[in-house]
Amino acid sequence: MQIHEKIAGLRAALKTARRVALVPTMGNLHEGHIALMTQARVHGDSVVASIFVNRLQFRPGEDFEKYPRTFAADCEKLSTAGVDHLFAPTEAEMYPQPQSYYIDPSPEQANILDGEFRPGHFRGMATVVMKLFQIVQPQTALFGKKDYQQLMVIRNLVQELNLPIEIVPGDTVRAADGLALSSRNGYLSAVEKAEAPRLYRLLERIAAALRGGSRDFAGLEQATIAELQSHGWIPDYIAVRNRTDLQLPAFHDSGLVVLAAAQLGSTRLIDNLEV
Ligand code: PAF
């Protein structure tokens, strides 16, 4: 695997590539990321992973500083997974001057759900993803469904800006107890780790109720919030939404997704389940 810190070096290395598949990450890689790398091979003769902890998508007081940086271990995992190129730029390479042009998703996409609790997050995320697309110029880019709203924002970005990039989703990878793999799971204490799978179990319970014909979206959401609170969680939202635009579903809509974000101790976990 070739490791590139510089944009020029990566571009030179990709000059003769025919089909490039990109998997953007912020590092601290787990099996979910590795599954995306394996999936990427189907779409590209050159698989490019990127590792860049993007300051722009963190708000002051979030975990930018303490976000786990495990570069040596990540390189080993990527190399074992057969990744061809790792793009791992410094901040100075990505943002040589303060960023003054942004990709600003519409408020309907960016100010709901996670965007309501993390103002500016999707603007910072979409801006760095656009920069990565410009730098790598992939034919395909892969993103995990665990960040469901992120995936929707990126799909719309590609569509509205006519980028010739196919966006391929990767399924959420879970531990045996159901907990969605996340770089932030490492923040959990042993006790919190045992509690954390409750979030997924409750999503499954809502999904089962919806499949069984319930359309009491608000009732299901509120009961789940109350149950999480009774176990020490601080939920941001539990929301039944349409899969395509993440807006409130009408009574007869199908193609739903249940999304959740909740704080357990000092760790904010997100998860979702398609119905
Ligand atoms: O999902 C992530 O890890 C990040 O949001 C991404 C897409 C790499 C952009 O920084």
241-266 per-position pLDDT tens digit: 999 999 999 999 999 999 999 999 99
Buried b (16+ CB within 10 A) or exposed e, 54-67: bebbbeeeebeeeb
Q: Is the residue at 21 inside a domain?
A: yes
4, 30, 33, 85: which is the annotated catalytic residue?
Answer: 33
Please say which residue of 137, 170, 203 terminates a domain.
170
Q: Both 166 and 202 in a single domain?
A: no
pLDDT given at position 273: 98
Q: Mean pLDDT throughout 126-136?
A: 98
Q: Is the residue at 275 inside a domain?
A: no
**Nearest-angstrom CA–CA distance, 94 and 132:** 9
Backbone angles phi, psi at 49, to 5 degrees: -105, 145
Q: Both 27 and 128 in a single domain?
A: yes
Closest C-alpha to ligand 1, atom 2: 25
Check pocket membership of 269 for ligand 1, CB cut-off 6 A: no
33 is an active site residue: yes
**pLDDT bucket at 38, cuts 50 / 70 / 90:** very high
Q: How far is the CA of 253 from the centre of ligand 1 (A)?
A: 30
pLDDT given at position 22: 98
Q: How far is the CA of 143 from the centre of ligand 1 (A)?
A: 8
Q: Both 110 and 59 in a single domain?
A: yes
Q: Both 27 and 160 in a single domain?
A: yes
170-205 per-position pLDDT tens digit: 999 999 999 999 999 999 999 999 999 999 999 999
**pLDDT bucket at 220, cuts 50 / 70 / 90:** very high
40-71 per-position pLDDT tens digit: 999 999 999 999 999 999 999 999 999 999 99
pLDDT given at position 92: 98
Ligand 1 atom nearest to CA at 132 = 9
> What is the amino acid identity at position 140?
T
Please say which residue of 170, 193, 228 terminates a domain.
170
Whichever domain contains 94, its CATH number is: 3.40.50.620
pLDDT given at position 159: 98
HEC sequence for 190-255: HHHHHHCCHHHHHHHHHHHHHHCCCCCHHHHHHHHHHHHHHCCCEEEEEEEEECCCCCCCCCCCCC
* Token output for 21: 């598949």
Q: Mean pLDDT throughout 146-157?
A: 98
Q: Both 166 and 192 in a single domain?
A: no
Q: Both 134 and 216 in a single domain?
A: no
Range of the domain at 37: 2-170
Q: Both 161 and 65 in a single domain?
A: yes
pLDDT given at position 197: 98
* Token output for 72: 């040596």
Whichever domain contains 246, its CATH number is: 3.30.1300.10
Please say which residue of 128, 144, 170 terminates a domain.
170
Query: Residue 226, class by beta-carbon neighbours within 10 Å (0-12 exposed, 13-18 middle, 19+ buried)?
Result: exposed
Q: How far is the CA of 250 from the centre of ligand 1 (A)?
A: 31
Report the number of distinct structural domains present in the chain. 2
